[in-house]
Amino acid sequence: MNLQNIKGIGEKTLESLYESNIYNLEELLTYFPYRYQILEPSSLENTNKDETLTINATVTDIGKVTFIRKNLNTYRFKVTAYGKFINVTIFNRAFIKPHITLNKEITLIGKYDTKKNLFTASDIKLSKIEGTKIIPIYHLIKGIKNNTLVKLISEALKEASLIYDYVPDECNQKYKLCSKKDALSFIHQPNTQTEINLAKRKLIYEELFIFMFKIQYLKSLKEKEVGLERKFDITKIESFINSLPFNLTKDQSNAVKEGLNDLLSKKRMNRLLLGDVGSGKTIVATILIYANFLAGYQSAFMAPTEILALQHYNSIRDLLKNTNLHIEYLVGSMTKKEKEKVAEGVKKGDIDILIGTHAILSEKLYFKNLGFIVTDEQHRFGVNQRDILTQKGTLPDMLFMSATPIPRTYALTIYGDMDTSIIKEKPNGRKEIITKVVKEKDLKEVLFKVLEAVKKNEQVYVVAPMIEEQEESNLKDVNLLNEKFEIAFHNKIPIGILHGKLKKTEKEQVMNDFKLGKTKILISTTVVEVGVDVKNATVMIIFNAERFGLATLHQLRGRVGRNDLQSYCYLICNEEKERLKVLEESNDGFYISEKDFEFRGEGDLFGIKQSGDMTFKIANLKRDYNILIHAKEDVIEFIKSKKYLKEEKYQKIVDKLDFTN
């Protein structure tokens, strides 16, 4: 049903709804209130003046409006309530005056000052309330008042029986869930708290059911996908591994073995490589790339930023220096000509490995025989890899790498459609990074440490959260920090500055200088966040640490401690935050992500939120984890039964799925 057909929706309202991504009846009816205002008449007595009261009153004097200045007016009038005459004030509601008529019964919400006999209203309802009234409060849609939205939805609810119930009958029965129609009416127009609870139970389960349905459906497809079957000389791979400057850890060896098996097998590889920062995922990927090359295929490697792409380019090239692979990179900021040259090489098959940002996907690239795609630090949702995938009709194998700031249990549920390899142990010889939360005023001790490190010829990262001093004055911008450090060290220590606004070549230059040790301190925004690898760096200083999630801080900290030197991480903050202590206690990424989850909920997972696929309307992964587990089991049964094949509503979900990977 079209939104236009709902009473009260005109051109303008329609536009506002569209802007909020509400295009049809279902989307309107699943625009849920985020909280409720519960109105219950209270008494006037024995109250302190800060308590919010709701009282029924009768107008005795319609009073007048005073305009004080442009955006400020007050309306004063009189009422009687509980047998008392009371003065009422409300700010900026001049428009309500025509509705306040003599003897009208109204409800006032606000605070009452007994001494002054003054009721300062924050809201006025133009009728009396009987018993309890629950008013749904919606997140603002630009151009539509809450009241109007309540009315529109109430109209829309008349058509609620048109809306699909995605929960299969057997699950509705199993959990005694109410009907979808009831749930919608309860959530938007509840009479009691019990109704709200019933509605939530149903709608949360349904949302998680659909979520798991998509994942499990994709999984069922993937299990059938046929990939490339390769042959390669395993002894060549063994000798390559033996030629590395270090021994693989046991977890790395296992991950390599699992990956090689995928490459050999007919089934398409769809593997997630989970491992903490510094656990050595890149080498695993590189070995697989080498195997793929030996079998005669090209590889693509994608990183989230240009800096990382370049760094991977350098380190992979270094790892493969004794082989004859041709490696190139492609990033968005290259000239058209440079890009064309790379495209040519890829097409002809001269280039064996192409490393780049995800921008590779938007370039028109045709590989001669792409066999393997590695994606680093990128959440798998939201990236449309369709173009690159389907271009040759064959399905390349896929490896996703992630430094998992996500608790493993959740990861395994969310990534339920992939195989996973996990690297838990870090390469030997690594010392724990000593971490300390430091108040900004105690910065001296940190600067002392910096000096000490530089004297030993070690290097220092300094992270500032923003590029420029913005409205919030306590944010240290990169330049300010630079000044501070220059002054502290009398301009004697060479400092590099890195931020997002630099050009590609400038960034490269800055990174290179730091890598080569020409600069000793690198001050940057969080662009260094993931993956940058300078072994000689031993001190990490993060300003405004309280602004970051634990997982992000852990990632940043992982930039140091990359060899056997003792490394330090200082978390500078203005107010001490309990959660930052977690980092003092632990260097274990899995533990930290559990804690981060506890403190912050799922909002920070990989930045998944932004990508849309994981924005829940009513469910919450953390709070509703148990429901998610049930939904997952139910979905697996449901897909097995193949009932979804016969029902239009599930087909519609399937049709809309973006086969991104």
Q: Which does 67 bind (CB under 5 to 8 A by kind): Mg ion, ligand ADP, none?
A: none
Establish if 277 lies at the interface with ligand ADP (CB under 6 A).
yes
Which of 122, 153, 156, 140 lies closest to 54 in space, CA to CA? 122
Establish if 556 lies at the interface with ligand ADP (CB under 6 A).
no
Return the residue of 41, 110, 531, 589 that touches Mg ion, per CB under 5 A: 531
> Quick one: 265 or 314, whose CB is closer to ligand ADP?
314
Q: Which residue is nearest to ligand ADP (CB)?
A: 280
CA distance 513 to 187: 59
Q: Which does 214 bind (CB under 5 to 8 A by kind): ligand ADP, Mg ion, none?
A: none
Could you tell me the smallest distance in angstroms from the CB atom of residue 536 to ligand ADP?
A: 11
Coil, strand, or helix at residue 305? coil
For residue 187 the two structure tokens come to 């959530």
- Count of residues in contact with ligand ADP, rule CB under 6 A: 18
CA distances from 408 to 219, 254, 404, 593, 605 (A): 19, 18, 8, 9, 12
Residues 6+ apart with CB under 8 A from 246: 427
Look up residue 37 and give its amino acid.
Q
Establish if 427 lies at the interface with Mg ion (CB under 5 A).
no
Torsions phi, psi of 136, nearest 5? -75, 140
> Quick one: 197 or 247, whose CB is closer to ligand ADP?
247
Could you tell me the smallest distance in angstroms from the CB atom of residue 495 to ligand ADP?
A: 24
Q: Which does 618 bind (CB under 5 to 8 A by kind): ligand ADP, Mg ion, none?
A: none
How many CB atoms are located within 10 Å of the residue 204 CB? 22
> Quick one: 216 or 555, whose CB is closer to ligand ADP?
555
- Count of residues in contact with Mg ion, rule CB under 5 A: 1
- Calculate helix-pair angle for 648-656, 193-224, nearest 10 degrees: 60
Q: Which residue is nearest to Mg ion (CB)?
A: 531
Return the residue of 182, 419, 513, 533 that touches ligand ADP, per CB under 6 A: 533
> Quick one: 33 or 549, whose CB is closer to ligand ADP?
549
Question: Where are any strands of DSSP class E within 468-545?
Answer: 495-498, 521-524, 537-542
CA distance 517 to 327: 26
Could you tell me the smallest distance in angstroms from the CB atom of residue 272 to ligand ADP?
A: 13
> Quick one: 282 or 552, whose CB is closer to ligand ADP?
282
Could you tell me the smallest distance in angstroms from the CB atom of residue 394 to Mg ion?
A: 27
CA distance 289 to 299: 6
Residues 6+ apart with CB under 8 A from 449: 539, 568, 570
Q: Which of residues 244-273 bind ligand ADP (CB under 6 A)?
A: 246-249, 252
Torsions phi, psi of 618, nearest 5? -140, -25
> Quick one: 287 or 343, whose CB is closer to ligand ADP?
287
Establish if 280 lies at the interface with Mg ion (CB under 5 A).
no
Could you tell me the smallest distance in angstroms from the CB atom of residue 562 to Mg ion?
A: 11
Question: Where are any strands of DSSP class E within 313-457?
Answer: 327-330, 353-357, 370-376, 397-402, 419-423, 434-439
**Are 340 and 365 within 8 A, CB to CB?**
no
Q: Which does 357 bind (CB under 5 to 8 A by kind): Mg ion, ligand ADP, none?
A: none
Q: Which stretch binds Mg ion (CB under 5 A): 71-79, 90-98, 530-538, 569-577?
A: 530-538
For residue 157 the two structure tokens come to 């609810």
Instruction: Name the site residues for Mg ion (rule: CB under 5 A).
Output: 531
Chain residues binding ligand ADP by CB under 6 A are 246-249, 252, 275, 277-283, 403, 427, 531, 533, 562
